[in-house]
Amino acid sequence: MSYLLKRLRYFNSSSVFRTLAIAAAGSALLCSNGDTDFRASVKARILVPLQDPLPFPQHLDFSGVYGTLPLYSYRDIGSQTPSSDTTKDASAAAHHGGSNPCNCFERNTIADAAAKVGPAVVNIAVTHDYLGVTAAKSIGSGTIIDKDGTILTCAHVVVYFQGTSSLSKGKIEVTLQDGRSFEGKVINADLHSDIAIVKINSETPLPEVKLGSSSKLRPGDWVISLGCPLALQNTVTAGIVSCVDRKSSDLGFTGVNREYLQTDCATNVGNSGGPLVNIDGELVGVNHMKMFAADGLSFSVPIDSVSKIIEQFKKRGRVIRPWLGLKMLDLNDTLIAELKLRSATFPDVDKGILVPMVTPGSPGQRAGFRPGDVVIEFDGKPVQSMKEVIEVMEDRVGVPMKVVVKREGNKLVKLTVIPEESNPNI
């Protein structure tokens, strides 16, 4: 017999505010909307506090006493006997050694994926010294992606940036799940993507995580987050993918063009740089930030983007980003209809990329782009989003590219643009 509970929801409209916070010690981007959401369940449950909340530090520095956010648990009333189907699924999983031969979600699916990835998840502690005295210690997470000790993490966990140069925050101590500790060295770091590579030296091969594909994820897919939140090593949380292409502009970031995986996995300070994996135990994202004081809003850098950055690290030790000097806007049916209402001469298109602004003196201006142009073809390939243009350009700087645009009055114009390397300080 099941019990149907009404969904309880408390909302304080006066407490809506927006702040954004990077989920790593010492850095913050915070965002909250003041909602508290109690999920409905098929069991009758009583909400009881686990402990009284302690004051949470204002500065997110966890070198001393850690503050604790208010936590609650659900206590079940009574118990239910597992169905025969559940028992059969568990028996089948045990028979196959914990594998999932039917490719379905079972009781051990998350635990098996976490066990597969866990040994390669590391705690990264950075000691901040001043005149030889330890002033503070920041905590983050990372993932071993090669048996030689190559670790993937977030740049803000291990370095400071001054212009184009990155400076180590201090001595880096990397602790594995089995308790072994190594001194880490920053090999590469990229400011715009906030991705870094740390290296440790081990006499024996280390456990590694297989890189998956973030492009295969769909909203609703199960994912697992691992790391060291609040320095609590070997922490595992699970949730679903909420959005596969959350744009940085949606989060209030201006001047940058990034996309994140949005999930409802529980992440906290110290999770930054840790892995987001699928139920097959494959790395699909790097945990990056969360909406503080808003449950179920966490963001990760997609592994497909990270893989390209790693390739550039291997190729030239840094990331090169072509620059055109064009502001671009992806067109959709609604936007096209609105623009047609405002101007009858707006070109007849059903897709494409609008160029509302051209930077003076930029490669785009020299190529002949004009405000109002609609890009429909780039380097010989039909395009309908900025993401596709970026993928076509890759890291090609100084290479002429043919572009087809449609202008007012449906005039087709062919242009040739030569991308320049973007200024890392912008």
With b meaning 16 or more CB within 10 Å and e meaning fewer, what string describes 138-153? bbbbbbbbeeebbbbb
> What type of residue is 160?
Y
Note if 272 is an active site residue: yes
3-state helix, strand, coil in the chain (%, to 5): 20, 35, 45
Token pair 């916070």: residue: 21
Catalytic residue among 112, 190, 194, 373: 194
Catalytic residue among 27, 89, 156, 305: 156
Catalytic residue among 32, 138, 272, 305: 272
Provide φ and ψ at 393, rounded to 5°. Answer: -70, -35
Give the closest residue to 197 by CA, choosing from 156, 158, 152, 167: 152
The whole-angstrom separation of Cα 119 and Cα 234 is 9
Q: How far is CA 80 from CA 1, 185, 385, in A?
A: 9, 52, 51
The whole-angstrom separation of Cα 54 and Cα 263 is 27
**Annotated catalytic sites, by residue?**
156, 194, 272
